[in-house]
Structure 1
Amino acid sequence: MILHKADDALMCKAFAMTLRGAAQDWFHTLPSGSINSFKELAYVFTKEYTSYRSINKNPDHLFNLHKKSNESLRDYIKRFKAERANTIGCDDQIVFSAFKRGLPIECELYRELTIYPRQTLVEVFAIAERYVLWDDDRIATKKADQVAEQASQENGKRRSQP
Structure 2
Amino acid sequence: MCKVFAMTLRGAAQDWFHTLPSGSISSFMELAYVFTKEYTSYRTIKKNPDHLFNVKKKSDESLRDYIKRFKAERANIVGCDDQIASSAFKREVFATTERYALWDDDQIAAKKADQAAKQASKENGKRRSQPQEGAPAIEKYTKFTIPIHQILAQVNDMPWLKKPSPLKGNLTKKDTSRYCTFHEGYGHYTNDCFAWKRYLEDLVRDGHCTEFISRGAIQQIKDCDATNNEPPRKKPYGSTRS
TM-score, normalization by structure 1: 0.49
Q: Between Structure 1 and Structure 2, which shows a larger proportion of helix residues?
A: 1
| Structure with larger Rg | 2
Higher relative contact order (CA 8 A, sep 6+): 1
